[in-house]
Amino acid sequence: MKQEEQRHHHEQAVKDKLVNSQFYRKRHTYRQINSMSVFLSSVTDFKEKFFPMYINNDPHRATTTASSSSNGSGGSGHSYVPIKLVVTEIKSSDTHRAWRRLVSPLASIFLSHNVFPQFGIFHTSLIIGDQLFDWNSSSLCIPRECMSEKAVLVTTVTSIDTKQFQSMIDPIIEYIIHCNTNLEYVNYGGDHCKTLNCQDFVLRLLGVMNLDIQCIMKKNDDQDVQRYLRGLRKSGKCLAVAKRFETRSQLENYIHESALRDPQFITGSEYRLLRATAEAMELKYRKYKDRLTDSESILEKCDWEIKMLMNSRILNPEEQKELRKLQKIKSKAQLEINSAEIMCQWYGVV
């Protein structure tokens, strides 16, 4: 009975967060919110929803989220689950960037890690397998497809053997449910009892998997990535990578040509930084591609509805009002399409 009461309490806590979130309230019906509150507050339901390949202790079903390890050991027939740190801008406006660059140098000197986050004034999340685990302003972590408009760096922390990862799933889910049902999101600071920021969420989630990002980077000799992350905290700037590239295709070509000239290049620190930058571009590309698809769908729907309206020889006042509304939506969708197409060319690989 006590366990049932606790589950009901957890479901209600998640439901309240979903209802209070403008993002989820606008995009989901009340029935969908009820369903979401169930699988976000139960270990069993969460696993069935987001880790179905690991049910019945069958790691071979995990091929959709497994990948070869970055050190090349994937050739032994083992499968691996990649764990990646994602660093994104909180806001991409010029005003916020100027404020971040002004505050970061002083805050990094005079404030402790407890007050001023380890990665500076940036948002962080984790990619586990092929899903993004993000603790954000909704005070909920709901795994989703990997895409981000503001990603600046996606660096591989490690790759875990699928069989070993299987034993970590329940602790991962339990920690996420604890956050979803007991904690509120804050931008900075947090007491870990009632409030939690995104960077502490990421570090604690890594801790559940017995991973220490700093130790791993030192072990892998990721000097350029470490230098980049220190720069984020101390200067607030998204520092340029070793070379400047106009498009992602140029970056990928540089990586490919460098590897052809020197096979050892892919084992070096510069390669890992360039690869982390390219993967951030990939997340941006996916986001803009998704936006392009949505906008094209809206445009097609508007064209069809306008055509139906124009079948009438004379439009009454209500129909004229509806026509103006549709034309406005169509115009906005076309602008989104034009912008998204440019960004897809920039961040995609030709």
Give the pLDDT confidence of 83-94 residue by residue, as tens digits: 999 988 876 555
> 277 and 201, same structural domain?
no
Query: 193 and 262 in one domain?
Result: no
Look at residue 298 and tell me if it is in a domain.
Answer: yes
Amino acid, res. 92: S
Q: Tell me, yes or no, whether 86 and 97 share the same domain.
A: yes
Burial class (CB in 10 A: 0-12, 13-18, 19+), 47: middle
For residue 350, tell me if it sits in a domain.
yes
Last residue of some domain: 201, 222, 239?
A: 239
Same domain membership, residue 146 and residue 72: yes
- Domain count of the chain? 2
| Residue that wins the pLDDT comparison between 213 and 72 | 213
Q: What does the alpha-carbon distance between residue 47 and residue 60 come to, in Å, rounded to a whole number? A: 16
If asked whether residues 82 and 196 sit together in one domain, one would say: yes
In a domain, 7, yes or no: no
CB atoms within 10 A of CB 79: 19
Reported as half-sphere exposure (CB side, CA atoms, 13 A), residue 28 has a value of 17
Q: Give 63's pLDDT tier (boundaries 50, 70, 90).
A: very low
Note whether 263 and 205 are same-domain residues.
Answer: no
233 lies in a domain? yes
Strands (E), the chain: 80-88, 123-128, 131-133, 144-145, 151-161, 184-185, 195-196
Compute the average pLDDT of residues 314-321: 86
Q: Is residue 6 assigned to a domain?
A: no
Mean pLDDT to the nearest integer, 200-215: 87
Together in a domain, 209 and 254: no
Compute CA 239 distance to the chain's CA centroid, rounded to the nearest angstrom: 20
179 and 97 in one domain? yes
Report which of residues 96 and 312 the model is more confident about. 312
Q: Say if 122 falls within a structural domain.
A: yes
| 229 and 125 within one domain | yes
Q: Which domain holds residue 267?
A: 242-350
- Whole-model pTM: value is 0.80
Do 137 and 261 sit in the same domain of this protein? Answer: no
